Amino acid sequence: MSSAAPAPERGWTAAVRRRLVTALPPEKLLPDSQPAYMASWVYVFGVLTVSSLIVVLVSGGLLALKGPAWWHVSTVGKYVNSLHLWSVELFMFVLVLHLWAKFFMAAWRGRRALTWMTGVVAFLTAIGTAFSGYLVQQNFDSQWIADQAKDGMNAVGIGAFWNVLDFGQMLMWHIVLFPVVICLLSAWHVLLVRLRGIVPPIDAPLTDAEQVPPGQEGQA
């Protein structure tokens, strides 16, 4: 019986798999323990942000199934619309708390600059998503907001590209483009958190893996 080692797997799929397993081993993606300092409430806001985002996406998907007028004439539609609204309110609230908490914790420490930047861009994208959501309510509030916002869009030179008075365009941005960007950024952000680890309290020493070599301070 031959005892020779099996030949290494070849091909680009095997190379990609080895690269992914090396960068994101299962014990990092799904850890079964966390550092003791995570017992603080400040570390809950990130989980609440992701949880509320899931509710936002599910309720928004249900609204999209029946079309943009359903939530005005159906009792179930009004309930789902209210669920969507309050999940968005919770999402933005805990997202701001998460952003400020990580800012005062200097969460970009320990080679986590890219993690911080993806979170900030996701926050800015969420603002655009919420704004476009207000524009597609199909009531007097949305009409007033759109009429006032068009002057601001024209003032910065994007009114011809991003026409807030065009209901169809705003609806597509709100239910397709913005959600896709937020989901991609959120997934990237979570993967970076798993890869780099949870940022420790600001007075805690960094581990050897978190230390930035001299001359590379500006690199993620």
Q: Identify which of 54, 56, 74, 55 has the alpha carbon closest to the alpha carbon of residue 66.
A: 74
**How far apart (Å, rounded) are the C-alpha atoms in residues 80 and 70?**
10
When pLDDT is cut at 50, 70 and 90, the band that residue 25 belongs to is confident
Average pLDDT over residues 108-134: 94
Chain centroid to CA 207: 27
Residue predicted with more confidence, 22 or 122 = 122
Question: Quick one: pLDDT at residue 116?
Answer: 94
Give the pLDDT of residue 201.
Answer: 86
Most confident of 12-16, 18-22, 130-134, 159-163: 130-134
Residue 190 pLDDT exceeds 90 = yes
What average pLDDT is seen over the chain?
87
Confidence of residue 4 (pLDDT cuts 50, 70, 90): low
How deeply is 126 buried, as exposed, middle or buried, from its count of CB atoms within 10 A (0-12, 13-18, 19+)?
buried
Specify whether domain 41-200 bears CATH 1.20.810.10.
Answer: yes
What does the longest C-alpha to C-alpha distance in the chain come to? 81
Give the pair of three-digit tokens for residue 5. 């080692």
Please check the confidence at residue 215 and state whether its pLDDT lies above 60: no
* Stated pTM of the model: 0.82
CA atoms of 219 and 76, how far apart (whole Å): 50
Task: Let me know: does 68 contact 127? Beta carbons within 8 Å.
Answer: no
Higher pLDDT, 216 or 198: 198
Give 100-112 pLDDT, tens digit per residue: 999 999 999 888 9
Q: 42 CB contacts (<8 Å, ≥6 apart)?
A: 101, 105
* Across 90-100, average pLDDT: 96
What percent of the chain has a predicted confidence (pLDDT) above 90? 57
Q: What integer is the mean pLDDT of 139-144?
A: 91
Quote the CA–CA distance of 85 and 117 in Å, as a whole number: 27
- Is the distance from CB of 102 to CB of 122 less than 8 angstroms? no
pLDDT of residue 126: 96
Arithmetic mean of pLDDT, 203-213 = 62
pLDDT attached to residue 159: 86
Q: Quick check: 217 pLDDT over 80?
A: no
110: left (phi over 0), alpha (psi -120 to 50) or beta: left
pLDDT over 80 at 210, yes or no: no
- Give the phi and the psi of residue 210 in degrees, each rounded to 5: -90, -15
Of 48, 60, 51, residue with least CA distance to 133: 60
155: which 2 tokens?
Answer: 């003032």
